[in-house]
Amino acid sequence: MFDRVDVFVREVRGLQTEAELGDALAAITRDLGYRYFALTHHVDVRRSSSGIRIHNYPDGWAEWFDEQSLSADDPVHRASNLTSVGFAWSALPQMIALTADDRQILERARNHGIADGFTVPAHVPGEAHGSCSFAGAADDPLKDGAAPLLQLVGAFAFEAARRMRRGRFAPAPVRLTDRQRECVMWAARGKSDWEIARILGISHQTVIEHLRHARERYGVARRTLLAVHALFDGTIGFLDVLRQ
Amino acid sequence: MIIVEKGCANPIADRSLRSMFEDRKRVFVDLLGWDVPVLDGRFEVDQFDDEHASYVIIAGRDGGHLGSARLLPTTRPHILGSLFPELCAGACPADPDVFEITRFCLSRQQDAAARRQVRNRLVSALAWYALERGIRRYTGVAEIGWLQQILAFGWDCRPLGLPRRFDSRVLGAIEIRIADDTPALLAANGIWDIAGVPAVRIAQAA
């Protein structure tokens, strides 16, 4: 079956539209033993028009899902933030603590015929997390070794969709000065303005100014959001913040 | 600056190579926990670091290592062919114009923003070097999360076989085709960043 995936990879390389990619994904999804696929960025699509979402889920499901603004809370999406390796939905209870709402979402999906899914996470630094899911299998394709095939299909399909969306979700990068970045890094580590001033050997007022300018560049009002934005786009790194 | 070293006849005497091997230990052993040999408790050096290896290094003004990758000829023993042949569906590529990229390393001695710039320069330098040297394809073994990032650079990648689990890691093998359009593909993703970067080639007895 690797040959089938190889053909898919060559095919999507030349595709230009998301509709064409959707057709190619539908075909290989069927060939690998599933009915449905959903290639998506984990963002609320009602608030963010730039997020990728291509799927062939049954009518009614996607609408309900959007009405509930579920994307960021979806247990499958939460679990896929933890790993890059594809996982079966049956493994969810071992990956995250499922809430009553989560169980309801999974039950409702099952009622729509979206069950026994397999999700391939896709993470590109500085961009929204995403994934490619496959669901609604008649038998159990994983038993027949579908997991590595799905892993490749998910990875290459996500990159193809990303190429098609490029430019639409790439706002001009925010650039901070070295001093601003240092202040943000220490703020992310929980230091107060006064403490940052002592650490960097600059005045308290200067730290306040650096952080105010940094917030302005990101267009946010709070230092918590400033830290989150700077981590998200890689201006500061998780390990820099977590380092003891 | 970009430095290309052929072989490592005297790695410890050369500042760029020495700091590269130190950074490799910090990244692959200390950070990623790979089970690979360490020399003198400081340098990550393995059996493939010999006279046949080439190194593409992004260095600071003082020659200190900022980022690097090791290139191994696929006509000789290399990681994919020697250690993970089962990652290829067919025969592993072995050709004079195919090189394997290994030990892609970004120094931990810089912050995240600087690392990203060095990453872009290193990817660009690898494409530039391939075009210069007539290398038509790179191969590589990557953990699956890193593989997605390699695809996201925008160059032309293909899988060589199915990914497999090795202990806690899932690894896959890919090939990257390098052609005249590669710089434009990288540029479309904001990766191509090589203009104005001086290139220094230190030719040693290979």
Summarised one tens digit per residue, pLDDT across range A153-210 is 999 999 999 998 875 555 566 788 889 999 999 999 999 999 999 999 999 999 999 9
Residue A85 is encoded by which pair of tokens?
């390796």
Size of chain B in residues: 206
Give the pLDDT means over successive 10-residue stretches in chain B (206 positions): 79 84 95 92 93 93 93 97 96 97 94 89 95 95 96 96 92 97 92 79 49
Whether the CB of A162 is below 8 Å from some CB of chain B: the reply is yes
Of chain A, the end-to-end C-alpha distance in Å amounts to: 47
What is the strand order of the sheet A118-122 is part of? A53-55, A36-41, A130-135, A118-122, A87-88
Residue predicted with more confidence, A64 or A39: A39
DSSP symbols for A137-183? -SS-GGGGT-HHHHHHHHHHHHHHHHHHHTTTS-PPPP---HHHHHH
Q: Give the pLDDT score at B4.
A: 86
Whether the CB of A10 is below 8 Å from some CB of chain B: the reply is yes
Residue A177 is encoded by which pair of tokens?
């000065």
| ipTM score | 0.92
Helix axis angle, A147-165 to A2-13, nearest 10°? 0
- The span from the CA of B117 to the CA of B111, in Å, is 10
Q: What are phi and psi of B83, to 5 degrees?
A: -105, -30
Q: Give the pLDDT score at B205.
A: 37
Identify the sign of the CA torsion B160, B162, B165, B166. negative
Q: Give the pLDDT score at B204.
A: 47
B31, B107, B123, B144: which to substitute to probe chain A, counting the most A Cβ within 10 Å?
A: B144
- The span from the CA of A145 to the CA of A142, in Å, is 5
In chain B, what residues touch A10 (CB-CB under 8 Å)?
A: 158
8 Å CB contact of B112 and A159:
no
- The span from the CA of A74 to the CA of A80, in Å, is 10
Task: Give the position of tokens 């449905």.
Answer: A36
Whether the CB of B115 is below 8 Å from some CB of chain A: the reply is yes
Q: Give the pLDDT score at B44.
A: 94
Q: Give the pLDDT score at A45.
A: 55
Closest chain A residue to B173, measured at CA? A152
Q: Give the pLDDT score at A172.
A: 63
Q: Give the pLDDT score at B130.
A: 95
Q: Which residues of A124-152 are buried (b: 16+ CB within 10 A; e: fewer)?
A: beebbbbbbbbbbbeeebbeeebbbbbbb
Residue A49 has pLDDT above 80, yes or no: no
- The hierarchical CATH code for the domain A178-242 is 1.10.10.10
CATH level 3 topology of A2-165: Beta-Lactamase (3.30.450)
In chain B, what residues touch A125 (CB-CB under 8 Å)?
A: 116, 149
Give the H or E element holding residue B3.
strand B2-6
C-alpha B204, offset from chain centre = 19
Q: What average pLDDT does range A48-57 have in this prediction?
A: 80
Q: Which of A51-60, A219-228, B71-80: highest mean pLDDT?
A: B71-80
Residue B62 is encoded by which pair of tokens?
């003082």
CA nearest neighbour of B175 among B155, B153, B152: B155
Q: Give the pLDDT score at B206.
A: 37
Q: Give the pLDDT score at B18.
A: 92
In chain B, what residues touch A148 (CB-CB under 8 Å)?
A: 162-164
pLDDT band at A233 (very low <50, low <70, confident <90, very high): confident
Q: What average pLDDT does range A103-113 have in this prediction?
A: 87
Q: Give the single-character DSSP code of B189.
A: T
Q: Give the pLDDT score at B165.
A: 93
Q: Give the pLDDT score at A111.
A: 87
* Cβ atoms A116, A137 nearer than 8 A: yes
Q: Give the pLDDT score at B29.
A: 94
- The hierarchical CATH code for the domain B2-202 is 3.40.630.30
DSSP symbols for B90-112? SSPP--TTEEEEEEEEE-TTS-H
Cα–Cα distances in angstroms (integers) from residue B105 to residues B27, B109, B110, in the given order: 7, 12, 12
pTM: 0.85
A206 CB-near residues (< 8 Å, 6+ apart):
A197
* Cβ atoms B145, A84 nearer than 8 A: yes
Q: Closest Cα of chain B to A207: distance in Å?
A: 19
* Cβ atoms B84, B141 nearer than 8 A: yes
Q: Give the pLDDT score at A135.
A: 92
Q: Give the pLDDT score at A128.
A: 81
Look at strands B98-106 and B137-143 and give their pairing: parallel
Sequence ranges of the domains in chain A: 2-165, 178-242
Same fold, A2-165 and A178-242: no
- The span from the CA of A188 to the CA of A232, in Å, is 12
Three-point CA angle B160, B165, B170, nearest 5° = 70
Task: Give the position of tokens 């390389």.
Answer: A13
Q: What is the CA radius of gyration of chain A?
A: 21
Q: Give the single-character DSSP code of A229.
A: H
- The span from the CA of B31 to the CA of A75, in Å, is 29
Q: What average pLDDT does range A19-31 have in this prediction?
A: 96
Nearest to A123 among B113, B148, B159 (CB): B148
